[in-house]
Amino acid sequence: MKIGILGSSFNPIHKGHIAIAKKAINIFDLDQVWLMITNQNPLKKGYEYLDYNTRIRLLKKSITSKKLIIKNFEKKTKSVFLIDNLEYIKKSFPKNKFIFLMGTDSFLEIDKWKKYDKIFKQMPLAIFNRYGTKKKSLESKVSIKYKDYKFDHRTKKDIFENIPGWYLINDFDVRESSTNLRQKSKV
HEC string of 19-65? HHHHHHHHHHCCCEEEEEECCCCCCCCCCCCCCHHHHHHHHHHHCCC
- pTM for the full model? 0.88
Query: What pLDDT, in 10s, does the model give residues 61-119?
Result: 999 899 999 999 999 999 999 999 999 999 999 999 999 999 888 888 899 999 999 99
- Using alpha carbons, select from 101, 94, 114, 122 the residue that is nearest to residue 174: 101
Give me the pLDDT at residue 176, please: 52
pLDDT at 179 over 60: no
Distance CA(8)–CA(38), nearest Å, equals: 6
pLDDT at 30 over 50: yes
Give me the pLDDT at residue 87, please: 97
Query: What pLDDT, in 10s, does the model give residues 71-85?
Result: 999 999 999 999 999
Query: What pLDDT, in 10s, does the model give residues 121-173?
Result: 999 999 998 777 777 778 888 889 999 998 887 677 788 988 899 998 887 76
Give me the pLDDT at residue 112, please: 93
164-to-110, 125, 160, 161 alpha-carbon distances in Å: 15, 8, 9, 9
**Which is more confident, 177 or 112?**
112
- Going along the chain from its start, the domains and CATH numbers come out as 2-186 (3.40.50.620)
Give me the pLDDT at residue 36, please: 96
Q: pLDDT-based confidence at 181, cuts 50/70/90?
A: very low
Give me the pLDDT at residue 157, please: 74
Give me the pLDDT at residue 156, please: 74
**Which is more confident, 131 or 26?**
26
pLDDT at 54 over 90: yes
Mean pLDDT, rounded, for 9-21: 91
CB neighbour class for 126 (10 Å; exposed up to 12, middle 13-18, buried from 19) = buried
